[in-house]
């Protein structure tokens, strides 16, 4: 696979809208970038679909368009020509396309203003979005233990979610089951424990698959800040998730 116009477009989209994953991908081998850029561009397209319109039906249609793409890939049918869909089809397996369909389905929560039903609903949302994205990335690159990758994805996903709280509240959403300091701290502790567990078993992720986890960034630092000073979540003063030494991490493999 060469870096054709579609892959270049994917890379440009990620560079503009997801600097952390762009940095992480640029630290990966070229062969891994050819997988990660389309995948991360897909994630951006799906993540922003519910937010570009106030009309729920239009947002649903936008998400359905991407679910149709995933179905085409999963069923090995011709995939519609699109600067993201085309290289995505070349980068992932049929099985992973089915997992990405679950990711898109989970994003329907973003369309509406309903709160999460319970802790299981919240955990499912984080796992189906952040966890599935990281797992599809890792498994597309090399051998990895799914539970380890999903633990890491949960930790990184909650860290990113805590960063987004002020914006979500401004949008009239109810992003947390318990927005008290105690509730925020408990959520951050849970996410931190899962991230620590993943790192304890980092040898279960092969060298080839490791670039998929570089996007964890400074999630551990973010979570610790939320544990120590939960008010920083609402204030929007958590540490930047991209404030970490990527070259050292890439060379050492110690994500």
* Number of continuous H segments (helices) and E segments (strands) in the chain: 13, 0
163 and 228 housed in the same domain: yes
Domain match, 57 and 132 both:
no
Asked if residue 191 and residue 79 are part of one domain, the reply reads: no
Question: Are 217 and 132 within one domain?
Answer: yes
d(C-alpha 220, C-alpha 42), whole Å: 26
Calpha distance 94→73 (Å, rounded): 6
Chain-wide mean pLDDT for the chain? 95
Do residue 139 and residue 249 come from a single domain? yes
DSSP 8-state class, residue 144: B
254 band by pLDDT with thresholds 50, 70 and 90: confident
Strand partners, 205: 144
Q: Do 155 and 137 belong together in one domain?
A: yes
Q: Are 210 and 253 in contact (CB under 8 A)?
A: yes
Q: Are residues 8 and 66 in the same domain?
A: yes
- The span from the CA of 166 to the CA of 168, in Å, is 6
pLDDT digits (tens, 9 = 90+) for 100-157: 999 999 999 999 999 999 999 999 999 999 999 999 999 999 999 999 999 999 999 9
pLDDT tens for each residue of 190-245: 999 999 999 999 999 999 999 999 999 899 999 999 999 999 999 999 999 888 88
- The residue from 112, 140, 161 where one domain ends is 112
Task: For residues 9 and 16, give the distance between their C-alpha atoms in angstroms, rounded to a whole number.
Answer: 11
Q: Are 165 and 176 in contact (CB under 8 A)?
A: yes
Domain endpoint, select from 86, 112, 138: 112
CA distances 134 to 54, 156, 171, 226, Å, are 29, 10, 27, 23
Residue in the structure block whose two tokens are 């570009």 = 52
Domain count, the chain: 2
User: Is the pLDDT reported for residue 1 higher than 70?
Assistant: no
Work out the angle between the directed axes of helices 94-106 and 132-141 (0-180°, nearest 10). 160
Which domain-ending residue is among 112, 136, 169?
112
Q: Where in the sequence is the domain holding 11, given as residue range(s)?
A: 1-112
CB 138 within 8 A of CB 212: yes
Confidence at residue 3, expressed as pLDDT on a 0 to 100 scale: 85
Q: Are residues 143 and 240 in the same domain?
A: yes
Residues 228 and 247 reside in one and the same domain: yes
Do 132 and 49 reside in the same domain of the chain? no
- 172 CB burial (10 A radius; 0-12, 13-18, 19+): exposed
Residues 121 and 241 placed together within one structural domain of the fold: yes
Q: 44 Cβ partners below 8 Å, 6+ apart? A: 13, 14, 17, 18
**Does 123 lie in the same domain as 33?**
no
- 145 exposure class (CB count in 10 Å sphere: 0-12, 13-18, 19+): middle
Q: Any idea what the Cα angle at residue 241 is, between residues 28 and 184, rounded to 5°?
A: 135
């Amino acid at each position: 696979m060469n870096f054709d116009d579609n892959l270049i477009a994917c890379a440009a989209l990620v560079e503009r809208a997801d600097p952390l994953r762009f940095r992480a991908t640029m630290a990966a081998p070229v062969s891994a970038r050819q997988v990660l850029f389309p995948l991360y561009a897909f994630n951006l397209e799906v993540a922003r679909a519910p937010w570009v319109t106030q009309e729920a039906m239009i947002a649903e249609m936008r998400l359905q368009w991407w679910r149709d793409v995933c179905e085409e890939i999963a069923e090995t049918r011709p995939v519609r020509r699109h600067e993201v869909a085309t290289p995505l089809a070349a980068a992932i397996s049929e099985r992973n396309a089915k997992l990405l369909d679950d990711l898109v389905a989970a994003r329907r929560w973003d369309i509406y203003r309903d709160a999460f039903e319970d802790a299981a609903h919240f955990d499912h949302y984080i796992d189906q979005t952040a966890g599935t994205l990281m797992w599809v990335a890792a498994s597309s690159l090399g051998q990895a233990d799914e539970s380890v990758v999903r633990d890491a994805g949960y930790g990184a996903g909650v860290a990113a979610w805590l960063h987004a709280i002020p914006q979500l509240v401004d949008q009239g959403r109810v992003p947390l089951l318990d927005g008290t300091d105690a509730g925020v701290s408990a959520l951050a502790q849970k996410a931190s424990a899962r991230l620590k567990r993943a790192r304890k078993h980092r040898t279960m992720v092969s060298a080839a698959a490791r670039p998929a986890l570089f996007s964890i960034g400074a999630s551990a630092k973010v979570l610790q800040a939320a544990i120590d000073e939960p008010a920083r979540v609402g204030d929007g003063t958590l540490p930047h998730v991209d404030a970490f030494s990527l070259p050292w991490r890439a060379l050492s493999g110690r994500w």
